Structure 1
Amino acid sequence: MAESPEVMNIRQASEYLGVSPDTLYKYVSEERIPAFKLGNRWKFKKTILDSWMERKSSVGEGREKKKPKSARAVASGH
């Protein structure tokens, strides 16, 4: 697999992230993913996407780890 370029277009970023270009356009319009416009085209910086994915994955893991504790606390009345 070829290495992803530092600045990617929608097609390249969608392949890199494993989502369809339509999904990526939706995320951009909802401001759910970091992107910038160069002229009239959306661009994605690889290092920023990597940081964004790290933050998203660590937030998700944190929620999963905390959920059982709070459920136990509620069940035990604490």
Structure 2
Amino acid sequence: MADDDILTIKEVAEYLKLTERTLYRLVQDGQVPGFKVGNSWRFKRGDIERWIEDQKKRLQRPGGD
């Protein structure tokens, strides 16, 4: 799968093992990278993969919150 694949909120929620409602909240709060097309949220696969790696690094840092 390519980094520039576009995913729906349902696909990302399933991938991250979150409810769609939780993902909506995280995206609206700016915690997860996404963009709107009309009224629908969309996500680039590469952005989600990088976000996951960033989260892992943040948690591995001494004193990470």
Fold match by TM threshold 0.5: yes
Higher helix share: 1
Report which of the two has the higher share of strand: 2
Q: Give 4+ residue runs of structure 1 displaced > 4 Å after superposition.
A: none
Q: Give the C-alpha shift of residue 32 in structure 1.
A: 0.7
Aligned residues: 61
Identify the residue that residue 51 of structure 1 maps to in structure 2.
50
- Among all aligned residue pairs of Structure 1 and Structure 2, give the percentage whose two residues are the same amino acid: 30
Structure 1 unaligned spans of 5+: 68-78
RMSD between aligned residues:
1.6
Q: Is 1:16–2:15 an aligned residue pair?
A: yes
| Structure possessing the higher radius of gyration over alpha carbons | 1
Please report the TM-score for the alignment, with normalisation by the length of structure 2. Answer: 0.84
Q: Which runs of 5+ in 2 are unaligned?
A: none
When normalised by structure 1's length, the TM-score is: 0.71
Q: Which has the higher contact order (CA 8 A, sep 6+)?
A: 2
